[in-house]
């Protein structure tokens, strides 16, 4: 590409030199500018000179565009490399996550020959509860129900639909006061 640019630049200079040579030749041959032939030749030389200037301008603009395109191409290549590196990193992260999931499964894997693994899987899960405020079904992790500081918030209306404070009304013997089994009246 550089060789073509140098050759083109040399040709542009040659055109300019050729026009200057023609002008000198016309003056050296004393072609009268007032005569019919002289006027035509002078006009041709002026036109050729304008062509040479236009070619030089176009060559300069072409060179600027070529440099700009090469810069964009280089930036694009860098972005492509960065994207490939990012994809590799994402793949590595997914692989690490899979390994972590396997490690977690191994931690909870039963070593005995019983069916307790299957039973454990059924012990905990999700329950659905209808929000009393908006009526949407909310999935609640059953493990959260055993938390002392329980505050389940509806993801739709953001109201607290279940709280540990709801369970603080227990009787002395551990039952809830809704049945009145402890002998105290509900207020």
Q: Percentage of the chain surpassing pLDDT 90?
A: 37
Q: Where are the domains of the chain?
A: 2-106, 122-167
pLDDT given at position 31:
78
Tokens of 181: 């089994």
β-sheet bridge partners, residue 152: 162
pLDDT given at position 110:
64
Q: Among residues 166, 167, 169, 165, which one has the least CA distance to residue 181? A: 169
Give the Cα separation of 119 and 110 in Å (integer). Answer: 11
Point out the least confidently predicted range of 25-29, 43-47, 127-131, 165-169. Answer: 165-169
Instruction: Work out the average pLDDT over 173-179.
Output: 55
Tokens of 15: 């055109």
pLDDT given at position 48:
92
pLDDT given at position 102:
86
0.75 exceeded by the pTM? Answer: no
Contact 130, 139 (CB under 8 A): no
Chain centroid to CA 24: how far? Answer: 63
pLDDT given at position 97:
93
Contact 130, 140 (CB under 8 A): no
Contact 59, 12 (CB under 8 A): yes
Tens digits of per-residue pLDDT, 16-65? 888 899 888 888 888 777 788 888 888 999 999 999 999 989 999 999 99
Q: Where are the beta strands (DSSP E) in the chain?
A: 126-130, 137-141, 151-153, 160-163
């Amino acid at each position: 590409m550089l060789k073509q640019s140098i050759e083109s630049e040399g040709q542009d200079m040659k055109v300019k030199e050729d026009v200057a040579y023609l002008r000198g030749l016309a003056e050296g041959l004393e072609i009268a500018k007032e005569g019919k032939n002289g006027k035509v030749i002078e006009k041709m030389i002026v036109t050729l000179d304008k062509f040479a200037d236009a070619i030089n301008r176009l060559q300069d603009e072409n060179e600027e565009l070529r440099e700009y395109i090469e810069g964009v191409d280089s930036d694009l290549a860098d972005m492509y490399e960065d994207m490939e590196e990012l994809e590799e990193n994402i793949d590595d992260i997914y692989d690490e996550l899979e390994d972590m999931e396997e490690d977690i499964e191994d931690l909870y894997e039963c070593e005995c020959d019983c069916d307790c693994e299957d039973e454990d899987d059924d012990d905990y899960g999700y329950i659905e509860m209808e929000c009393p405020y908006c009526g949407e079904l909310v999935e609640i992790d059953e493990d959260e129900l055993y938390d002392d500081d329980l505050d389940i918030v509806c993801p739709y209306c953001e109201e607290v639909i279940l709280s540990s404070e709801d369970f603080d009304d227990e009787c002395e013997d551990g039952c809830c006061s809704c049945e009145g089994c402890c002998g105290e009246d509900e207020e």
